[in-house]
Amino acid sequence: MLFSSLTFLYYFLPLTVGLYFLAPGRMKNTVLLLTSLLFYAWGEPRYVFLMGLSIFSGYCFGLLVERYKGKPSGRIFCILSVTVSLSFLLYFKYAGFFLESIRAVTGQEFPLWRISLPIGISFYTFQMISYTVDVYRGERAQRNLIDLAAYIAMFPQLIAGPIVTYSQVAGQLRDRKHTWDQAAQGIRRFAIGLSKKVLLANQLGELCATFRASEEKSVLFYWLYAIGFMLQIYFDFSGYSDMAVGLGGVFGLRFPENFSYPYISSSITEFWRRWHMTLGSWFRDYVYIPMGGNRVGKGRWLFNILTVWILTGLWHGAAWNFALWGLLFAGLLILEKLWLLRVLERHKGLSHLYVLFFVLLGFVLFDAESLPQAFAGLGGLFGLGKIPLATPQAIYCLRSFAVVLLGGITGATPVLRWLFGKIAKGPRSGRLCNAVEPVVLAALLLIVTAYLVDGSFNPFLYFRF
């Protein structure tokens, strides 16, 4: 089930919210769990058992880790729990990739495994690991299996994040307050995220789909596609995150932010502090720092960075283009930490162009289905392969999608938020904004509904991870 679907918006969500607020306090997590399982089973009924097995395993290990805390057996149980969680992820997501790679290297012919990837397994596996490790580090183990299951399976952020660690919500699972103001802010945030997805990401997706289907490739068309995809993935994923944070607010939960205008960054280091922030924080807290972080010798420190970024790339997909994508950013981050940051700080204008250029190249790698396709895409940006500078189709697409592209570029900066903030601060204009805002949100919902009634299926890009 998609957030950007009529079934979710007009059936599932109203029913869930109604049941949630009718339920007494001690039953609210039960309602969240049952509706989350229904939400997941709607698209992945056969994998509900897998998620349940992961939750029950983590629950048992959490109790054992707490019971033997400070003893060698406590550490062993923690390692076993992480191993079990990772084994599910490795089997379903990476087994086929590893076998295919071995066959390519050795030349041996043997059958490949064709295993469908359970939706959201990368996200809920990381949350399960964070639970066990947080208990090992001092958090109280969750004795209520329903509360733990509600945390892992919670539908607002189950499929594509943000990644919420157990320490961030442990207290909220036990006790949280619900206010009309918090719910209203949540609905507002959800509506903004939904509009990002349907009115911007989906339209930019049409541009990218037109490019992929075209046999009239040109340098202009490659750049239109690259810019279009760069904006599409931002509005698609940040839109989902907005909706997840907003729904969390409706249910009295505070989820961490996942995006903060990454395209205004002046370094790759800053970009990754603004893009998919919860994933970066997870790898920092549960991989990079336990490996020693930057508190080790330079050689080991560089190894830690490379390891984290290869894992980050492969987390996004079981393919070599994702590993290369991770290596690209690892190399840039290492260069910045060694000397490049000092140069970038003296040339702010060029630093923004540098970030946008390498992020754009990175997303061409990211979107490719294979390494040859990735290299062809990168070459096309620079006119390799004897392609023309422009074709009639590319010029037609530039004209057709100019408004969407300009809207996306503007929306990817804090200009609109700054402008609205200025207007809202005025005594009269502020009152006018408060009066007009519900009307604007209702109008956006109507427009989005019209697009959904008339549109085609367009899932969130991060569902495949």
> For residue 358, is it left (φ>0), alpha (ψ between -120 and 50) or beta?
alpha
Q: Of 178, 316, 347, 352, which one is the catalytic site residue?
A: 316
> How far apart are the C-alpha atoms of 58 and 78, rounded to whole Å?
9
SS3 category, 316: helix
Residue type at position 200: L
> How far apart are the C-alpha atoms of 78 and 132, rounded to whole Å?
6
Question: What residue spans of 107-253 are helical by DSSP H?
Answer: 121-137, 145-153, 155-158, 166-174, 180-195, 202-213, 219-250
Q: Check if 316 is active-site.
A: yes
Peptide bond into 162 cis (omega under 30): yes
Length of the chain: 465
DSSP string, 22-50: HS-GGGHHHHHHHHHHHHHHHH-GGGHHH
For residue 288, CA distances in Å to 89, 99, 147, 248, 291 come to 20, 28, 29, 29, 5
Structure tokens, 36: 């989350």
Q: Of 263, 379, 269, 258, which Cα lies nearest the Cα of 329?
A: 269
SS3 category, 54: helix
Q: Which residues are catalytic?
A: 316
